[in-house]
Amino acid sequence: MRDGKLSSHRKVCLVRAHGRAPLPARDFNVETPRWGVSAVPTHLFLQISRQARLPNGQNVGLALDKCSAPTYAYAREKSGGHGVGEYVFVAGDSFEGRTAMGKKVRMTGGEIVTECLIRNRVPYAMGIPGHGCLALVDAFARRSSELRVIQVKQEMSAVHMADGYYRVTGRPLAVFTSIGPGAINTAIGVATCYVDSTAVLVITGATHTHMVGKGVLQEIERSHDADFPSMLAPVVKRYWRVTDPGQLPSIMQRSFNLMTTGRPGPVLIDLPMDVQADSAEVELDEPGTRVPLGKVKADQDAIKAAARLLAGASRAVILAGGGVRTARAYQELKEVAEHVGAAVVETMMGKGVFPADHPLFGMHAGSKGTTIGNKLTSTADVLLAVGCRFADETTSSYRRGVSFSIPPTKLVHIDIDSSEIGKNYPVEIGIVADAKSALSDLLTDLREVARPKDYGKTPYFAEIQTLRKQWWDTLKDFRESTRVPVTISRMIKEIREFLDRDAIVVSSSGNVQAQLLQEFPILVPGTNITSGGFSTMGFSLPASLGVKLAMPDRQVIALIGDGDFMMTMQELATAVQYDLPVVVVIANNAAWMSIQDLQMAAYGKDHAYACEFVKKNGEVYTPDFASVAKAFGSWGTRIQKAEEIKPALKSAFSAGKPAVIEVMVNREFPYSGGPAVGWWDVPIPTYMKEKRAQYEAARAEEDLT
């Protein structure tokens, strides 16, 4: 250190921020301003030259803090926010194993939460102020230049918005609510995050600690004082009830560690009103000093065994689930598949982890899947499942031979969550590991045990191409239909042809989601966002806003049904307020049509009931969503013909503001949806004797052992 600045060239020791042993000293060229230490802003990022790289080869930025010799500087990866690593640069000959902070300061609970959010690089807090979070929101206001509040119009949407943001960045956001109804409104969003394994920090206002059990406004206390957290307990990884502001530094640190490591998921901090306003003397460590580094590594003997098994397979299939997306293991997946010539079949949460225009793409299996996907997975000799749950829709409700035949298929299952391995199918080899790490290790061992397969010349490869063509031929009548109103299949086809390759597509439960799974090619990995195992309606619009917030320069489109749209349509106000120009395409069939189609498919056409939106006189009813959009300040139009879709998309994306395209789609079964494949266990009432007998025969083929 000379005159309060690092010298332009000196030996610097790179130390992991949590204080493990230093890495070997290296030379770094460091560019610094000509300020003394006392003048350096607390979190000023400086650029290090090319020689200054982290062990993984990524460039870093430097942040200097006021400190005494030896001089400490915090390095944070600038790689898009995925897997953020924090390091300490120590200028000098010794390392004392402590951070530069180390000072106790008096802060309110609200200030502690705010400071921790900022230090963990959380740029947004989504929510609605209320009396139960007044002091917390006031603390946000004091740091508004560093932590921006997004005013959603319903708290469920706040969670969906944070969820969408996390899925494309890998960085969690904060959601805040008042006590009572506002807190409970988060339940559907939180459950969606829990089932789909996405991280969000939910902070809810709660009863004053000195008034619990009195039944104050919006307290739930009849069975247990201030009992709101019990409602979310099944759908969070952990919850905390805070009773003193001095607990918050530890709780905030633990919440970030827990929700972002292992299998990601939401966490809840229930924060009483008085704790938000009371103060305590606390010492705040830099986040990097308490962050667990590294990924869960696979057992290497198991990896070697898996490599030998795959190398000897003639009909290898990789079933790629949402864990591949969470780990961003796209390249590793592709290289493993190409090395052994394996077909890649995706689950719903895994859709988009493998390029749909790759010749090894085997599409999707299950009851909402494809004929090619079910054929490949049910006849595989070796199945490598990565980051998936084998849920009922993927497995055709476990009916033997429909989607899977395990055994005789030999299953290698890789998952970060040990509870998923062996839960629904017996495994030949079960591997607990991060998907990216495990696939990388597997690729290394595959290269040692076998040369890359010339898969393009194999009969199996030719079969994959034939099966894929047969599937597209099956859809031809739907996708090339000239019917008016247009079919959803034709609508999807026109949209895919218009969009950029890397456009991000957001969907949620209903016919549109099912047909996107079957028919919409995702060409760039990571560009499909959908509500998965919780099958949430109302997800698409707010989630697309979170995506657009994170990716302002990308095309972001929400494809949803009218029933779905009406659950969160108020968030058009949020889109307009914050200038988030997403494009929303509503497939309007004036019904909860996916359920009506299911009624007719399972019970018969005369059993459609309570799904269509009709007036007393039998007239079909629908709001004019294009006009509704305009009333919110969005661009809007209503169309019904296939040839109108691309011009409408062009106008919508060039409107410069949120846009809604209301597409009146065909309501005639089966053109109201897509073809059903596989099997799904939909119980048939006993009074439908013939159908019930068929159902019981099929159910007898389920293997639930």
- For the stretch 514-559, pLDDT in tens is 999 999 999 999 999 999 999 999 999 999 999 999 999 999 999 9
pLDDT in tens, 201-216: 999 999 999 999 999 9
pLDDT digit string (tens) for 142-160? 999 999 999 999 999 999 9
Is 76's pLDDT higher than 80?
A: no
Looking at residue 662, its pLDDT comes to 98
How far, CA to CA in Å, does 396 sit from each of 335, 390, 409, 594, 677? 29, 10, 16, 18, 9
Out of 3.90.1150.10, 3.40.50.1220, 3.10.129.10, 3.40.430.10, the CATH code matching 300-471 is 3.40.50.1220
User: Three-state SS for 633?
Assistant: coil
User: Is residue 291 very low, low, confident or very high in pLDDT (cuts 50, 70, 90)?
Assistant: confident
Whole-angstrom distance, CA of residue 138 vs CA of residue 304: 56
Statement: residue 328 has pLDDT above 50: yes
Indicate the pairing of strand 201-206 with strand 174-177.
parallel
Among 563, 567, 614, 569, CA closest to 592: 563
- The tokens 């997946």 sit on which residue? 333
User: Which two tokens mark 141?
Assistant: 């206001």
At 280 the pLDDT is 97
**Res 292: pLDDT:** 87
Looking at the chain, the domain(s) classified CATH 3.40.50.1220 span 300-471
Read off the pLDDT of each residue in 466-473 and give the average, rounded to a whole number. Answer: 98
Q: Would you tell me how many other CB atoms lie within 10 Å of the CB of residue 443?
A: 21
- Which is higher by pLDDT, 39 or 76? 76
Per-residue pLDDT of 599-625, as tens digits, reads 999 999 999 999 999 999 999 999 999
pLDDT of residue 511: 94
What are the distances in angstroms from CA 482 to CA 470, 641, 644, 649? 21, 8, 12, 19
pLDDT value, residue 15:
35
Q: What pLDDT shows up at residue 648?
A: 98
Contact status, residue 48 vs residue 74, Cβ threshold 8 Å:
no
pLDDT in tens, 333-348: 999 999 999 999 999 9
pLDDT at 705: 87
Alpha carbon of 578 to those of 144, 267, 535, 540: distances in Å? Answer: 15, 27, 28, 17
Per-residue pLDDT, 93: 32
Query: What is the CATH architecture assignment of 476-664?
Result: 3-Layer(aba) Sandwich (3.40)
User: Please, are residues 252 and 107 in contact by the beta-carbon 8 Å criterion?
Assistant: no
The percent of residues in the chain predicted with pLDDT above 90, rounded, is 82
Over pLDDT 70: what percentage of the chain? 86
The hierarchical CATH code for the domain 104-290 is 3.40.50.970
- pLDDT higher than threshold 70 for residue 457: yes
pLDDT at 7: 33
Q: What is the mean pLDDT of residues 626-636?
A: 98
Taking alpha carbons only, the member of 456, 586, 620, 414 closest to residue 510 is: 586
Q: How high is the pLDDT of residue 102? A: 57
* Residue 666 tokens, joined: 């065909």
Beta strands at 86-91 and 9-16: parallel, antiparallel or unpaired: antiparallel
User: CB neighbours of 643 closer than 8 A, spacing ≥ 6?
Assistant: none
Taking each helix axis from N to C end, the angle separating 155-169 and 540-550, rounded to the nearest 10 degrees, works out to 50
Rounded Cα distance between 22 and 426, Å, is 44
The alpha carbon of 166 is separated from its chain's Cα centroid by a whole number of angstroms, namely 6
Question: φ, ψ for residue 482 (rounded to 5)?
Answer: -105, 15
Q: What is the residue-averaged pLDDT of the chain? A: 88
Whether the predicted pLDDT of 65 surpasses 50: no
Q: For 174-184, write each residue's pLDDT tens digit.
A: 999 999 999 99
Beta strands 60-64 and 71-77: pairing type?
antiparallel
Q: Which residues pair with 53 in a beta bridge?
A: 59
Report the pLDDT averaged over residues 386-412: 97
From residue 584, how far is each of 558, 572, 629 by CA, in Å?
5, 10, 10
Q: What angle do CA 151, 158, 590 make, to 5 degrees?
A: 105
Residue 51 burial (C-beta neighbours within 10 Å; 0-12, 13-18, 19+): exposed
Q: What value does the mean pLDDT take over residues 136-140?
A: 98
Of 173 and 287, which is predicted with more confidence?
173
What pLDDT, in 10s, does the model give residues 106-133? 999 999 999 999 999 999 999 999 999 9
For the chain, where do the domains classified as CATH 3.40.50.970 start and end? 104-290, 476-664
Element housing 371 (H / E): helix 371-378
Per-residue pLDDT, averaged over 487-493, amounts to 97
Residue 92 has pLDDT above 50, yes or no: no
Tell me if the bond preceding 355 is cis, omega within 30° of 0: no
pLDDT of residue 12: 36
For residue 405, give the nearest of 436, 426, 430 by alpha carbon. 426
Quick one: pLDDT at residue 36?
28
pLDDT of residue 417: 97
pLDDT of residue 294: 85
| 35 pLDDT above the threshold of 90 | no
